[in-house]
Chain A
Amino acid sequence: MRGHAPPEAGRQALAAVATWLGQFTPRLTLEPPDAMAAEVQGSLRLFGGIGRLKTRLRTGLAELGFEASLAFAATARAALWRAAGGGSPLEELPVEITGLEPDALDLLHGLGIRTMGELMRLPRDGVTLRFGRGLLAELDRALGKIPEPRLFFVPPARFAARLELPAPVTQADGVLFAARRLLVQLEGFLAARQAGIRGFTLAMMHDRALPTPVAVSLAAPSREAAHFLLLARERLQKITLAAPVEAIRLEADDLEPLPGATAPLFRDARAAGEDWTRLVERLAARLGGGAVHGLAVHSEHRPELAWRSTAPGVKAPAALAPPGPRPLWLLETPRRLGEGDFALLAGPERIESGWWDGSEARRDYYIARSGDGSLAWVYRAADGWYQHGIFA
């Protein structure tokens, strides 16, 4: 079958459809970018014949949001071609559906061969000589003259496990003990795959309410249950439950490769780095994700834009020295100054920049002593004097 999905979805969409198709047959192969083949011979009776199966497939795919062209044939190759050709009989399909190189198609046009039927009537040895053995083999596979072994689709790795609690729990952190069991299970699952994760979701299931999901994210990929538990605890402590918890469910996907390195015997320097990472994680877990961020110098002439906040744990690009004397404290909005409010000490440093985004700065900066004796960073713009920062 062939479907239409937004291109960026691509393989992922295909995999999603394949997962859904798994209920009809396990013998599925993906034909990127937009097709797949399913062997349904064995399941035809189960689903009540081709007609019914077609209807079910069409409705189901439509529900998934895909529009598909379905075709049935004795071989996967022929079915795929027919689906590509809008369902016409194999003989009448245009030769283009073979996906031959432009050169070969050009020759077919030169010979006046337009359909698969015409192609199949050409002398076999002549075809081999002109198009190589590959084309004949494809034709034979479509006709079932030679078998075509295919790699079956394997659903993606994903962890999901559920645990019923022996008795309903009313305090969120009360689920920790049960969660630990699942997290350990997750660690085993990850270890077997040499993988780590950047986050997991712990859902608390209630009897008569929607589950309460707790999404935990990590600063770096990890697979240590103890680490997971620590983070889960920080989050659970802050949650008030709407209803008692009957069961919990743990889900994790998007596995990343994470080789070797099981628990170290001794805490080493690397571990010290990890401690820093964990501090950030714990702070973030306690204060909420948005409250903790890093700070980096940004390459930009306008001082108010010459810094950036970063996600915690993200390394700033190579350290950039400030271009000149810069106060550590920059006023959020520059403060308007009167002429006599300050005495200039050094400058000017001229900054003219930023015309491209509509907030162009054209300023002469000075270091000045203000009335209260502090060192101020002031500038003159077209419309007067402003204080922009404080040195000390």
Chain B
Amino acid sequence: MLSVLPQYAELHCLSNFTFLRGASHPEELVARASALGYSALALTDECSFAGIVRAHVEAKARGLKLIHGTELRLDGGMKIVLLATDRRSYGAISALVTAARRRSRKGTYSLSPEDLDRVRESEALLLAVPEEKKGSVPIFLRKIGTDPNFAGRTWIAAELHSGPNDRARLNELRELAALCGLPLVAAGDVHMHVRSRRRLQDALTAIRLGKPVAECGRALYPNGERHLRLRTRLAQLYPPALLAETVAIAERCNFSLDELRYEYPQELVPTGETPSSWLRKLTEAGLCRRFSGGTPPAVRDLVEHELRLIAELRYEAFFLTVHDVVSFARSRDILCQGRGSAANSAVCYALGITEVDPGRMSMLFERFVSKERDEPPDIDVDFEHQRREEVIQYVYEKYGRDRAALAATVICYRPRSAVRDLGKALGLSLQQVERVSKLLSWWDEKSALQERAREAGLDPHSLQVRQLLALGQTLAGFPRHLSQHVGGFVISRGPVAELVPIENAAMRGRTVIQWDKDDLEALGLLKVDVLALGMLSAIRRALHFCGMKAMDEVPVEDPAVYEMIQHADTVGVFQIESRAQMSMLPRLKPENYYDLVIEVAIVRPGPIQGGMVHPYLRRRQGIEPVTYPSAEVERVLKRTLGVPIFQEQVMQLAIVAAGFSPGEADALRRSMAAWKKKGGLEPFEERLIRGMLERGYRREFAESIYRQILGFGEYGFPESHSASFALLVYVSAWIKRHRPDAFLAALLNSQPMGFYAPAQLVQDARRHDVEVRPADVCVSGWDCTLENRAVRLGLRMVGGLPEAAGQRIAAARPFRSVAELARRAMLNRKDLRCLAAAGALAQLAGHRRLAHWLASGAESRPALNVPVEGAIPELAAPSEGEEIVADYASLGLTLGRHPVALLRARLDRLGLASAANLRKRSHGSIVRAAGLVTCRQRPDTASGVIFVTLEDETGTVNVVVWTNVAERQRRELLTAQLLGVEGRIERDGEVVHLVARRLSDHSQLLARLAGPLAARSRDFR
């Protein structure tokens, strides 16, 4: 039977990257076309290449021929499809899409028939898709039919979808083709991979038109025929010649995205040098700098090994590009640090891309140099967050705006946005939709939808709600629009626009390419991640306060630093400041750099879900013996006491214990990242367990390794990133231990960043005996400064004050009155009000109310003749409570008493204990406590537990809220500012948790602090 099926290539097919039209993922389309035995599939998203890399990867895996093209609607209404035959026509189409997109606002495009001149010289193929309209021949078709440039590569597409009269339609198209002298070819105008996506496709149409699906009428497609149809069905619909023509066209399209590799920029290498020779020269120079006493032999071997592989795989450009960017940053005193597998290579250490000494680490170089993998090395570089823009501008300047561009981030539907859009499409009232989508708070999984619907007062069994839930599950994960990636640059040899289309971003003047980071990685294109890291800004500032210039001046392996870390005294320290990290530190007791590498990686959902944490801790504490099933495994796991903790170790285990090749191990890594979403680890399970059994491992061990791999899922943390982070952990901890004043000032000057708000940082510093002085127009600069080891708050802490105004104040001192301040620093009334609110006018005006009176009396625009200040009314000084509330409102912190201290008597009467009191209670006791909520966090583990941190004048309380309590007391949990908790004390050494049973909201007490008639409750975060 199979032999009588006609061959068919689908030449007109949209994926969900044609937003709100296509109803299937590119991968789904490719998989279906392959299953149906199509000869080829052309992905022709409307004016977009955004989905083609995903399709390309899938098509390669399935051995399906993929054709790249695009559907375009020209001004005047004619719809066409362009198909690439070779690299040149691909580039021409890409440039055409770019032109059409760049002249229109985000998400739209416009293209005139004349624009097709851009593809005239190339070998692009053109299918015209005429409207179903009787009468005259479209002018476009007449013209293109007689255009010698397009002769032999233009067709009219016959797209039959069981409409009112397909036979008549086909005859009509035949006549049209004859009139224009163009051949006819079958095509499907495919919008979905299977017919069952029809409802979703209708719903997408409704969302696109912005009205309920019931009102869309004939704007919807009349049926679900726009799917990848069975070839038997196509044989019934089309004459054989039209089907054969699809295959003939497909045979002319022989461009693969794989051809785009190696289009690296060339200017990094001076004339007379090859990329290889130049990289070697730079590496040797670096080694001389790093190792003044001569390169250690082990490092020398590593360097030779790495350089050989880099040359073999032609990856020099990656290293040279990153080196160039890093050298620029160094020349500007911008602190930076590379991370990723390649970043922690010996070569990168020599090039100054990383500070992690290869002698200190056993690096897994294979992660980026497997010959079986077509993937480029992974180097991300973090820069000080407030100065990253300078680096970005450098890249643009060096390569030109046409050759360097930022990667896209594909913004996808999440359950909440899916429900919101679908709810409207299904005709739910706005209120209902808002209720459901509000209830979907940030921790909800897809499966929670039904429960949420019930809570919102919707019947989960009604037709609308069932449809909402069913469609919502599919729509979640659909791409929605493209946004700019935070810092992933693609740099090309020729114009980027001929590599991938560029379109306008939402922000004016910004553009974005149509591929995201993963796309670039999958194609092996040259990509440099220029990322922003707040901690680097803080570290550079702190080093500066301490009179140091670079991180390598910080003394290494200081025991005092590790002692502090072991007591979890780590507020503000990079990475290890979160609740989960802090409760791990006293148990893991890090005592050297490598322990920090482990600490950074172990408190992650991967190791936690894989069940690695407890075995590791037990072994570390000597409770459990450290054993290895074999010598090979010992080599891989020795540094983590036989428990796999890093992503690399899992891969290496697969290699040494199950006989995977490095390439297969990497495929495993990528599947690990994806299996939660798509599944697909089963083939590896079989292979892994068989491989281990064959090599003499016990089935029990094999299965435990497999379970650990599953647990790792997408959250496995690579050692190579951990190693770079651990260095910053150490440096920031060293500063906190020895110079808490410099640490606080630097962190405040680098806000917003990190886990804690300024209020908590200041509280913590004061607990460490750092004196903190108020912001004051008479002494403060814009930044926070050190006054002989006391921290003086800077004017930057004053809410609403523009930096320029702050700088003028610092430059125009001294002043004797508010009027003089206003005049000399050219401040307007708004600036002065901000200063008054912050209490920064105290020296000039007296208490805050007087400061407000004087500030508001200034001219709204600074004038030369400042009026006399007039009569000053008698205003009573504000109460302490009002002062504290006003401090929080303006500065986000108070230097006065903690707000909870003022409520202590009341809380005592309510039987709510303080944090200090809780520390004295024994394990298992039942207590009641209350404090300001400073943090709510739900770790990415699926267990559903929520961490809440309460703060009062005596310290913090770590509250654990399990799912059942969280569900029952959602409102208190999410909205209370002053939260009361009744629960049980759980103690494990130094680690104390309060496990909540009941929550109560006492926020109304806070509102009273500000006085009887306070306008609204203030935010104490």
Contacts and interface: CB of A to CB of B under 8 A. Distances in A.
A301 B870 contact: no
A339 B223 CA distance: 24
Given A111-B849, A122-B873, A352 B878 contact: no
Interface in B846-867: 848-849, 852-853, 856-857, 867
B1015 A109 contact: yes
A353 B220 contact: yes
B426 A356 contact: yes
Interface stretch (B162-170, B272-280, B621-629): B162-170
B853 A353 contact: no
A355 B467 contact: yes
A114 B849 CA distance: 12
Given A110-B836, A111-B853, A356-B426, A125 B870 contact: yes
B222 A352 contact: yes
Nearest to A352: B223
A299 B217 contact: yes
A41 to B, nearest CB: 33
A364 interface: yes
A106 B799 CA distance: 15
A373 interface: no
Contact of A112 (B213, B836, B875): B875
A268 interface: no
Contacts of B873: 121-123, 126
B517 interface: no
Contact of B849 (A112, A300, A348): A112
A121 B876 CA distance: 13
Contacts of B833: 107, 110
Contact of A323 (B164, B837, B848): B164
A355 B202 contact: yes
Interface in A221-252: none
B1011 interface: yes
A107 B852 contact: yes
B856 A130 contact: yes
B849 A301 contact: no
Contacts of B219: 299
Contacts of B198: 352, 355
Contacts of A350: 161-163, 222-223, 225
Given A299-B219, A355-B202, A364 B162 contact: yes
Interface string B822-859: 00000000000100110000000000110011001100
A291 interface: no
Contacts of A107: 833, 852, 856
Given A110-B837, A299-B217, A352-B198, A325 B164 contact: yes
A375 B198 CA distance: 32
Contact of A301 (B218, B886, B1015): B218
Nearest to B198: A352
A43 to B, nearest CB: 37
Contacts of B463: 356-358
A357 B215 CA distance: 11
Nearest to A299: B217
A26 interface: no
A11 interface: no
B427 interface: yes
Q: Which of A122, A126, A351, A358 has the largest number of chain B CB atoms within 10 A?
A: A126
A126 B427 CA distance: 56
Contacts of B1011: 114
A301 B163 contact: no
A346 B165 contact: yes
A129 B165 contact: no
Contact of B224 (A96, A352, A364): A352
Contacts of B1014: 109
B595 to A, nearest CB: 52
A125 B467 contact: no
Contacts of A96: 1015
Interface in A305-364: 320, 323-325, 346-353, 355-358, 364
Given A112-B849, A351-B222, A357 B214 contact: yes
A27 interface: no
A327 to B, nearest CB: 13
B876 A112 contact: yes
Contacts of A122: 873
Contacts of B217: 298-301
B474 to A, nearest CB: 14
A345 to B, nearest CB: 11
Nearest to B1012: A114
B871 interface: yes
B1021 interface: no
B4 interface: no
B2 interface: no
Contact of B162 (A106, A126, A349): A349
Contacts of B856: 107, 110-111, 130
Contact of B223 (A114, A324, A351): A351
A176 interface: no
Contacts of A320: 218
A117 interface: no
Nearest to B199: A355
B875 A111 contact: yes
A33 interface: no
Nearest to B161: A350
B1013 interface: yes
Interface string B1002-1016: 000000000111110
Contacts of B875: 111-112
A347 B223 CA distance: 14
Q: Which of A129, A325, A358 has the largest number of chain B CB atoms within 10 A?
A: A129
A126 B1013 contact: no
A137 B882 CA distance: 31
Nearest to B212: A356
A168 interface: no
A105 B1015 contact: yes
A284 to B, nearest CB: 29
Interface string B125-169: 000000000000000000000000000000000000111110100
A94 interface: yes
Nearest to B1011: A114
B165 A324 contact: yes
A356 B199 CA distance: 8
A218 B199 CA distance: 44
A112 B878 contact: yes
Contacts of A105: 1015
Interface string B190-227: 00000000110010000000000110111110111100
A325 B168 CA distance: 12
Contacts of A325: 164-165
A9 B288 CA distance: 85
Interface string A86-127: 000000001010000000011101111010000001110110
Interface in B879-911: 882, 886
Contacts of B199: 355
Contacts of B876: 112
Nearest to A129: B857
Given A126-B870, A301-B222, A357-B214, 18 more contacts: A94-B1013, A107-B856, A110-B836, A110-B837, A110-B856, A122-B873, A126-B853, A129-B867, A130-B853, A298-B217, A299-B216, A301-B217, A325-B164, A349-B163, A349-B164, A349-B165, A355-B198, A364-B162
Interface of A: 94, 96, 105-107, 109-112, 114, 121-123, 125-126, 129-130, 298-301, 320, 323-325, 346-353, 355-358, 364
Closest 8 CB pairs of A and B: A324-B164, A299-B217, A350-B162, A110-B852, A352-B223, A350-B223, A123-B871, A130-B856
29 contacts: A105-B1015, A110-B833, A110-B837, A110-B849, A110-B856, A111-B849, A111-B853, A112-B875, A114-B1012, A122-B873, A126-B853, A126-B857, A129-B857, A300-B218, A323-B164, A323-B218, A324-B163, A325-B165, A346-B167, A349-B162, A349-B163, A349-B164, A350-B222, A350-B225, A352-B198, A355-B202, A355-B467, A356-B213, A357-B214
